[in-house]
A and B are shown apart, each in its own frame.
Chain A
Amino acid sequence: MITYREALSEALWEEMERDEDVFLLGEDIGLGGGAFYITKGFMEKFGRDRVVDVPLSEAGFTGAAIGAALCGMRPVVEFQFADFVTESYKMIVDYAAGNHYRQMGPVPIVLRLPAAALVSAGPFHSQNPEIWFFGTPGLKIVAPTTAHDAKGMLKGAIRDPNPVIFMEYKKFYNYPVDELPEVLRPEIPESDYTVPFGQAKTLREGDDISLITFGTTVLEALEAAEVLENDGVSVEVIDLRTLVPLDKEAILESVKKTGKILFLHEARKRGGVAGELAAIVSEEVFEYLDAPVRRVGAPDAHVPLSPPLERAYLPSTEKVVDELRDLAAF
């Protein structure tokens, strides 16, 4: 089995071999092989025209990529850290997301955003960017959590005619495959494959509480569900995998079954995706609820640099267990 990071490399490599229009832009991705070595050796293989080292100007190179996409190319932009994407905000929400609507043609661009906290990487290297884009029409937002999904979704994103916010999780890059829960290491097909967007995955079936998550917190979700099983409470864990398009039915069907629902994400609770999802649940399946819709997310603060503070800040298995127990007892 390969790691998540290797899966991303394979996806890029295979797509570049498959389609000459696919090219990469990013800081230090050519000579340096990328901050996380995902494109190591790419420049030697595909040349400087297709593996483009860019100056430190996110707005500039995102704009260049959008222009190339409008001309029919398939650019894949690597941000060193997802946090830096705010420099390109206008480029993405107005031009990448809006061009097609304004009848200037599709923008098949992939924005690779290494997201979320790792260990004490501080406020500029730890953020979850989805909420900056979640309210913008015209963007797809995907969040693979396994090597299988990372590869299949990156390939799918590159072939997609729309701009795709591709969140990839630093936490998973080098995560030893053997240490992952079995459900997070599905077999990777030998042959070419893509993972369709808009299909959530049930990581664990359960009857009493639905635990809906995406991104890094799949780990905490699975651990917490196991703890609750020992309490005699059966928790269903669902990984959304993509936020736009959203597998709304998976959420609604699960809560119809259980009557209790907890949303979990690493990003801050205030203004987080969970708020929108909670609203959907109460709008569409209110009559199935047996308890208030609950959320676990980070508190209303920047991601701390201090390791103990960071640990306190991030959603932990303990916090998820507390919420689940509260819901179970409701």
Chain B
Amino acid sequence: MYTARIRMPRMGTSVHESTVVTWKKAVGDQVSKGEVLLSAESDKVEFEVEAPADGVITEILAEAEETVPVGEVLATMETETEVADETPEPEETSSDWAAPVAPLKPREKPVIPAARLEKAPRPSGEGKTWLSPRVQRLAAAHGIGLDVIAGIQGTGAGGRVSARDVEAFIAGGGAPPRIEMSWEPLSETQEERTEPLSRVRKRIAENLTRSVREIPQVTSWLEVDMSGVSAFRDANKEAFREKHRLNLTYTPFFIMAIVHALRSEENERFNATFEDDALTIRRYLNLGVAVDSPGGLVVPVLKSADAMNLVELSVRLDDLGARAREGALTPEDVRGGTLTLTNFGASGALGGNPIINPPEVAIIGTGAIALRPVALPNGATSVRPVMILAITFDHRVNDGMAAGRFISDVRAALENMDLSLLEY
């Protein structure tokens, strides 16, 4: 035999209590499962409570007219089978909350893992270049032709060129602005202006005129594959700047290559001066470095460049360059050069023919480093950063073969330099 508890059921949401109306059975009555024991009412509905199993009523705890809370025991029965005692779930409301709907529990924040964004297929126009309105607006605002835009590597859906791609292209110096032609005269009155030469320019004029008048000069060019040096510089420039507060430029690499070439006695006759029919060969390098200053070209001399490492070269070049541009060079800074290096590539020029700075007997020039298709020995082609290396030499004291060998040695050093040994 088991004992079953008959409880006041919950009849609808926000019902907290109900009232017994009448008992249909009394203590001691034999009832069968499903028989009505009592009727009751809530403030919303009238209802009946049935026997949960066959058995005998043993006790009645709530009389007619009595109002009892939901879940309260109304009667007990002795039953032949076990009846689970189910208390109606309490409503999840605070006591002063009887709204028709339950209050909200704080939401559980969904856990969504970060994702790699997968590219959707190209939006429309299969096989065509689809440019969004924003991309076209950006192109127009920056004077970039749509053909140029279409050539950008797109990162959008299906390789689409997105606005972000165009912005990156522009930020990267991308496309030059369109240049508007004009048919206005340069000046309304055909104006003319006479400008006397400054002291600096006068000295440049005298020096170079003397050089060209007196020296039979010959220029040779060759191409240098700058892949190695370029890659090293790209990979190290951030760290170099962080450590030394200096830009890692190409110039120290040029100087290291020149110094390497001069270590060979075959090339020593280019690091020399020629005066009074006598060639003075120097077994040290005082390298003149041409610097574009506001007043004009100046050539401060990097003394003992042959004994400097990458960092020392960078520090000294930065110092000389800065002082040259500020006009703060001393006479000592520009004296005693044995060879000169000029980077005409800084102006964007690919090639040039530099003029010797007398009494020196040679000058080395470097052009702009530009990406070019290069034919490789195996017949393949590759796109490489390529630079023109020029040498102008005094034909009175050196011949073309020797100059070619010297400049080839500089090239070899630039192309094959063991960059892993460079420390900074």
Q: Does B171 contact A (CB under 8 A)?
A: no
Cβ distance A291 to chain B, nearest Cβ, rounded Å: 7
Instruction: Report whether B123 and A118 are in contact in the complex, using a CB–CB cutoff of 8 Å.
Output: no
Q: Does B99 contact A (CB under 8 A)?
A: yes
Chain A stretch 97-111: residues in CB contact (< 8 A) with chain B: none
Instruction: Report whether A230 and B99 are in contact in the complex, using a CB–CB cutoff of 8 Å.
Output: no
Instruction: Report whether A35 and B135 are in contact in the complex, using a CB–CB cutoff of 8 Å.
Output: no
Q: Does A93 contact B (CB under 8 A)?
A: no
Cross-chain contact of A330 among B96, B100, B120 (Cβ < 8 A)? B120
Cross-chain contact of B132 among A171, A174, A289 (Cβ < 8 A)? A289
Cβ proximity bits A172-210 to B, threshold 8 Å, 1 near / 0 not: 011110010000000000000000000000000000000
Q: Which residues of A contact B104 (CB under 8 A)?
A: 118-119, 170-171, 173-175
Provide the bound-state CA to CA distance between A26 and B313, in Å.
87
How many B residues touch A, CB cutoff 8 Å?
34
Q: Does A13 contact B (CB under 8 A)?
A: no
Q: Does B176 contact A (CB under 8 A)?
A: no
Q: Does B193 contact A (CB under 8 A)?
A: no
A122 to chain B: closest residue by CB: B101
Q: Does A16 contact B (CB under 8 A)?
A: no
Cβ proximity bits A267-307 to B, threshold 8 Å, 1 near / 0 not: 00000000000000000001111111000000000000000
* A330-B160 in contact given A119-B101, A231-B114, A289-B132 (Cβ < 8 Å): yes
Instruction: Report whether B106 and A330 are in contact in the complex, using a CB–CB cutoff of 8 Å.
Output: no
Chain B stretch 95-113: residues in CB contact (< 8 A) with chain A: 96-104, 106-107, 109-110, 112
B140 to chain A: closest residue by CB: A287
Q: How large is the interface on A (under 10, 10 to 19, 20 to 34, 35 or more residues)?
A: 35 or more
Chain B stretch 132-176: residues in CB contact (< 8 A) with chain A: 132-137, 156-157, 160, 162-164
A329 to chain B: closest residue by CB: B117
Instruction: Report whether A289 and B133 are in contact in the complex, using a CB–CB cutoff of 8 Å.
Output: yes
Q: Does B115 contact A (CB under 8 A)?
A: yes
Instruction: Report whether B106 and A233 are in contact in the complex, using a CB–CB cutoff of 8 Å.
Output: no
Instruction: Report whether B112 and A330 are in contact in the complex, using a CB–CB cutoff of 8 Å.
Output: no
Cβ distance B95 to chain A, nearest Cβ, rounded Å: 12
Q: Does A318 contact B (CB under 8 A)?
A: yes
Cβ distance A134 to chain B, nearest Cβ, rounded Å: 26
Residue positions of A touching B, CB distance < 8 A: 35-37, 80, 118-119, 121, 125, 170-171, 173-176, 179, 219, 223, 227, 230-231, 233, 259, 286-292, 316-318, 321, 325-326, 328-330
Given contacts A289-B133, A290-B132, 18 further A-B contacts (CB under 8 A): A125-B100, A170-B104, A174-B104, A223-B109, A227-B114, A231-B114, A231-B117, A233-B117, A287-B136, A288-B133, A288-B137, A289-B132, A290-B164, A317-B112, A318-B110, A326-B120, A329-B119, A329-B156
